[in-house]
Amino acid sequence: MTTAPLGLEVPGVSDVRAARAEIVDQLSDYVIPRLVQLEAPLLAVVGGSTGAGKSTLVNSLVGEPVTESGVLRPTTRSPVLVHHPADAEWFQPDRILPELPRTQAVTNDVHALRLAESTGVPRGLAILDAPDIDSIDQGNRELASQLLAAADLWLFVTSAARYADQVPWDYLGKAAERSTSVAVVLDRTHDDAVVEVRGHLARMMTSRGLSDSPLFTVPESAVGEDGLLPRQAVAPIIGWLRDLAADPEGRAAVVFGTLDGAVRHNVMRSHTVADALDEQRATAQRLHDDATGVYREAADLLTRKTADGTVMRGEVLSRWQDYVGNGELLRSVEERVSRIRDRLVDQVTGKRTRSAEVSEAVESGLQTIVVEQLESAAEAVYRSWSSLESGRALIATERGLDRASRDVRVKAERLVRDWQAEVLDMVRAEGADKRMTAKFLAFGVNGIGVALMVVVFVGGSAGLTGAEVGVAGGTAVVAQKLLEAIFGDQAVRDLAERAHTSLVSSMQTLVQSEQKRYLDLLTDPTTIEAAQTRLREAARRADYARHIDFLDGETAS
């Protein structure tokens, strides 16, 4: 349940997240601990509205002041669990409400559970004083809900002035849905209003599925110096609780009824959460497809542009033209070797060569193409995701997603340089037994490597227009024939294919790293689907076990 992915902002997701949190809390706070220790004392949580007199009632039931009542609202203090000294072991941190730290001292830490021992509580029963369910403090309200969800029995306290309020009935409605055992206490009621108010309250309980729940009335009474109500005012409740604690079968019936209702309710809500994952998966799939589609297209474009002559535009074409010359491009290579060699600067002198200029132009031009394509892809994904609320929420978590990564130019530069070095290594390996030939010496590794790059880039001329087609196409023919004269036509085809494949692979790796910036924000749709399947299967098994185990439990009791 905790792994159910609900990260996307889709309609209604807040309610589903709240439901998931409530399920997880009740499973960890109540269902699992109670299943592990069915013989543990019955936990009665005293909850209700602000000013209903819960703390005074708890103290009066116990017979001593174990919890503080306050006139200021909200009263900021920890919840108090009162138990018989002999039952202390049942309420250690590894038992019920395991996430709440224990303390023996009075504290204002609302997240701590104060344990108080009292012989006024019969063995087999514990009473927990919870915060107000309608507190103006959100933390108090949330804790009250958590504690009530961890109860075997609700002792729900209201008053003549507050019994018709909506908030208490929202809680009581949830209790009825879950089949939680409930007893209602009508507190602070004047004698002249008891009959009318009690009758109205009983009818409201019946209409909301709580007709079998006990209803106690505590008349308006002055508290004594010890802060307790007169004994006779709470005697019916004390007697009922003591009888329940002393009756193993009655106590077991309360536990099994509440536990069965909790499991049944959580099974139904688990299916609701699982159903909500349909929209999460569909939305994730759309965002995933948008991102992968854009970057797949970017990778395809880069693959085409590095083989259709696009790289040979501008500076690269100019430098290559200077390198091989303008005239009579289709003469035989044998007639041109000496003239082209004369145009080279002897590399031994350490001076700059024309082949190095072409190589640098290739590096700059190819880097520009890669960066421009990745920038365009980032902008396209950003626009697409921004059209959905869920996408906007994701990209808002990280800056700069409307552009390629900040170091994309450095990555592209490294990619091109590494590829150029790899091309030169291919030339060296292929020409290992040809280095003393005139043609190889005339061009050297760098010159032959540049020629191989040109053959790779101008596999066709679809990226060129007008005069560029003739010029670049012609120079590509020269590069092709030069390489064929050195290596042979099949070797040249193999070299060009390997070089382009390597370049494409490196570009795809870079494209995927840019795409990953988006996909890392998104739960993979297959992961959502798998989580949905696991959740439904767990709910199905829990429902099956509920029917088997609780039928056995009822039979045994």
Residue 157 in any domain: the answer is yes
The last residue of a domain, from among 195, 230, 246: 246
Chain center to CA of 170: 30
Closest CA to 365 of 322, 309, 290: 309
pTM of the model: 0.75
pLDDT in tens, 197-217: 999 999 999 998 899 999 999
CATH code of residue 102? 3.40.50.300
pLDDT in tens, 167-181: 889 999 888 888 889
Side chain identity, residue 61: L
Closest CA to 321 of 340, 307, 349, 308: 340
Range of the domain at 124: 42-246
pLDDT in tens, 272-326: 999 999 999 999 999 999 999 999 999 999 999 998 888 887 788 778 777 766 4
Please say if the pLDDT value at position 464 is more than 70: no
Mean pLDDT of the chain: 85
230 and 254 fall within a common domain: no
Burial of 245 (0-12, 13-18, 19+ CB in 10 A): buried
Please say if the pLDDT value at position 64 is more than 80: yes
Please say if the pLDDT value at position 218 is more than 70: yes
Q: Interhelix angle for 248-305 vs 166-178, to 10°? A: 90
27 and 49 fall within a common domain: no
User: What's the Cα-to-Cα distance from 283 to each of 25, 200, 327, 389, 398, rounded to whole Å?
Assistant: 28, 49, 60, 10, 19
240 and 271 fall within a common domain: no
Closest CA to 499 of 439, 403, 436, 419: 419
pLDDT in tens, 73-112: 445 468 999 999 999 999 887 678 888 888 888 877 777 8
Q: In this structure, are strands 80-83 and 102-103 parallel, antiparallel, or unpaired?
A: unpaired
List the single range of 10-19, 44-53, 232-241, 454-463 with lowest mean pLDDT. Answer: 454-463
361 and 253 fall within a common domain: no
User: What's the Cα-to-Cα distance from 128 to each of 181, 248, 275, rounded to whole Å?
Assistant: 15, 20, 36
Bridge partners of 81, per DSSP, are 115, 128
135 and 237 fall within a common domain: yes
| Tally of structural domains, the chain | 3
pLDDT band at 328 (very low <50, low <70, confident <90, very high): very low
Residue 288 in any domain: the answer is no
204 and 344 fall within a common domain: no
268 and 203 fall within a common domain: no
99 and 186 fall within a common domain: yes
414 and 449 fall within a common domain: yes
501 and 377 fall within a common domain: yes
Please say if the pLDDT value at position 267 is more than 80: yes
| 76 touches 126 (CB < 8 A) | no
Backbone dihedral angles phi then psi of residue 156, each to the nearest 5 degrees: -90, 120
Residue 297 in any domain: the answer is no
